[in-house]
Chain A
Amino acid sequence: MANDLKPMPRLTSINRPFFEACNAGELRLQRCTACAKHVYFPRVCCPHCGGGALEWVAVSGRGTIRTHTLVRRPQHPSFFPEAPYHVLAVTLEEGPLMYSRLAGEAPEDADLIGRKVRVTFSQEAPGQKLPFFELA
């Protein structure tokens, strides 16, 4: 049944390096060769300076929780068995904001804003690992 399968990203020439690095257990982001800023989500150009030369670089995998929610009623049925779970907005040490999930347990009513986290990878589909974050 299609509803058992989690929605997966549409792979393109632009975002494939990110998702392939996830499968290798590595967090890689684009970095602008002109202004040296990191970029996420993957872009065709640098949203900071408009430059067109982006390179893929490994990043620390460390960040801080900017905000979060406990999703109790997921939209997609494939997530029903896992609910409730914490969805996180993580400010990575290198600058960009990454939406992800909490790996490991935390109380349902936990205030996680400002907590330090580090990346871990979760096999979310047969062919795709995704970055999750655990409390540091």
Chain B
Amino acid sequence: MGPGYEGVYVVGTGQTTYEKKTDKPVQRLIWEASNLALRSAGLGFRDVDGLGVTAFTLGPDNVTTMTEHMGLTCRWLFQGLYGGASGVSGMLQAARAIQHGDAEVVVIVAADAFDVTSHMNMSRNPGQHDYMGPWGYGAANGIFAMHTRLYMKEFGATREDFGRLCIAQRENAMLNPNALLRTRMGMEDYLNARPVADPLRLFDCVLPCCGADAVVLASEAVARRLDVPLIRILGGGEVHNHPADDIYRFSAGWETFAGRMWNTAGLGPRDMDFVQLYDDYPLMEFVQLEGMGFAPRGGAGTLIRDNDCTVRGTLPINTGGGQLSAGQCGASGGMIGVYEAVTQLRHEAGDRQVPDARHGVVAGYGQVSYGRGLSASACVLGRE
């Protein structure tokens, strides 16, 4: 079997309402998104024989007890432990299982009932908790402020460079009824927002919220029976703890698999109708664009300046507003791009539809530990 994902189709996707607060437990959000995704495929829970779940706030439940909760009997399970890289990673691993006959219909879902308080109380890995926390490091904001400052100094990037991307995403969010931040943002609003951890200000940081996103993958035999657009995984990859010896190389490793991903897809960055990036901070979007070959190292600012990144533009990025403007439902931050990509390829994105979208790329990033996220993933999706 080659590096591709032949014989596997993405047949459904679903997203709950994004809310700043909710009384719903995370298990309910997982069910809601899974149910929406299965319905969009014309399938039901009785068809499911594989489940992948990622949720920071799920414990002491886990993917196995979720099968019990939802009454599923599964042959294949995945629990995402790669933070925001888990959505894409789970899809790729599910696709391999389906290719080999270990499952036929798999739901990959991520969710969290996250507000600012639960964000603060979340249990953190030793890298952050023991070797950064006692120094008042400012959590993820502090970590990515340090990356952003060094990147700006090394490559001459400006606040305006990051602002252009954040503003384009806000324009996309204004067309997305499920986005939490839908008021127009100008450059002055971006530049003068409340400072958080220099050089980051408020609109460089995501809004923690509650919700869930899901996709359904199925074997070709199942997919051909369904009345849905056929979407394939054309290529993909993941890598963890790269580079092992340097936190500050502006890389989490996308460049280690991007060449293989594009070769397998038979496509390149210029063939993409849209790009869904993991936007915990705009700096990381720059790093992903550079790692996946959209721009040379240090060149993402120029790329953004030379393109219109709205859904009507030349390089649509985070077409639903992304985590920066739609909201970050905890671990579902790693699935919002998957949901958005599949919705675009199904041509169901309403006012924010990228005209005749055929191909797109989705990146994931997560498991922030000592000074950086450890996990990177990406995949190319295409409509047949």
* Interface of A toward B, CB cutoff 8 Å: 6-10, 15, 40-41, 47-48, 66-76, 78-79, 82, 85, 87, 89, 97, 99-101, 108-109, 111, 113, 124, 128, 130
Contacts and interface: CB of A to CB of B under 8 A. Distances in A.
Interface residues of B, number: 35
Contacts of A113: 149-150, 153
B197 to A, nearest CB: 5
Given A41-B126, A67-B248, A79 B146 contact: no
A74 B153 contact: no
A69 B133 contact: no
B198 interface: yes
A7 B133 contact: yes
Contacts of B126: 10, 41
Contacts of A108: 198
B135 A130 contact: yes
B130 A10 contact: yes
A71 B130 contact: no
B244 A47 contact: yes
Contacts of B194: 73
Given A97-B371, A128-B134, 7 more contacts: A7-B129, A69-B146, A70-B197, A85-B136, A87-B137, A99-B135, A124-B134
Contact of A111 (B131, B141, B153): B153
A9 B130 contact: yes
Task: Name, among A8, A47, A70, A78, the residue most crowded by chain B CB atoms within 10 Å (CB to CB).
Answer: A70
A78 B195 CA distance: 19
A99 B245 contact: no
Contacts of A79: 136
B134 A87 contact: no
A67 B197 contact: no
Contacts of B25: none
Contact of A67 (B135, B146, B370): B146
Contacts of A75: 120, 138-139, 141-142
Interface string B369-382: 01100000000000
Contacts of B195: 72-73
Nearest to A75: B139
B132 interface: yes
A67 B153 CA distance: 10
A96 to B, nearest CB: 10
Contacts of A74: 136, 138
Contacts of B245: 47-48
Contact of B136 (A40, A48, A87): A87
B371 A72 contact: no
Nearest to B196: A73
Given A41-B127, A48-B245, A97-B247, A71 B136 contact: yes
Contact of A87 (B127, B142, B150): B142
Contacts of A41: 126-127, 130-131, 370
Nearest to A72: B195
Contacts of B141: 71, 73, 75
B145 interface: yes
Contacts of B146: 67-69, 87, 89
A66 B199 CA distance: 15
Contact of A101 (B127, B135, B139, B199): B135
Contacts of A6: 134, 136
Contacts of B370: 41, 99
B182 interface: no
Contact of A68 (B127, B129, B149, B244): B149
Task: Name, among A67, A79, A82, A97, the residue most crowded by chain B CB atoms within 10 Å (CB to CB).
Answer: A67
B135 A100 contact: yes
Nearest to A18: B131
